[in-house]
Amino acid sequence: MKKFFAVLILGLMCIVVCQTSLKAQISLIRVAITVVDTVNVGIPGVQIKFVVGLGGGETDLDGKYVLICMSNSTLRFSKVGLITQDVAVNNQNAITVVMKEDLLAYNNNTYKFNPILNFLYSCKYNKVLFYNKNI
């Protein structure tokens, strides 16, 4: 019986010590994020996701977002037409991310040329728009 209680007390002490060390490693912090372009103007609609795990959000009209995350997490910022970036939090309370244009995104479109010009030059509307002398 004494052996059982000794093992039980030792086990409980191990659990308490392990939980204390885990709380020290995993601490949640509040991070204020600002996403701007190269001329320091806020970008709305940038998606913010955790690289590992679930969750995230989207910036508001001023390019700002507030997130509660672990102090050692990494965030991924992405938007169509901009280069995707991964930024480590590293116990920072405020993060400013400068996003640059992705010029290759404009070159990899599926159209042979501009879709508006494709509509205007199509055979159906070509005669009406360009050859109507009554306009």
Q: How much is the pLDDT for 30?
A: 95
pTM value is 0.61
Q: How much is the pLDDT for 11?
A: 65
What's 24-102's CATH class? mainly beta
Domain ranges of the chain: 24-102
If you write DSSP's letter for every residue of the chain in order, what string do you get?
Answer: -HHHHHHHHHHHHHHHHHHHHHHHHS-EEEEEEEEE-TTS-B-TT-EEEESSSS-EEE--TTSEEEEEEETT-EEEEE-TTB--EEEE-TT-SEEEEE--B-HHHHHT-SSSS-HHHHHHTSHHHHHHHHS-TT-
Mean pLDDT, 10 residues at a time, the chain of 135 residues: 68 65 71 94 94 90 93 92 92 94 65 59 55 53
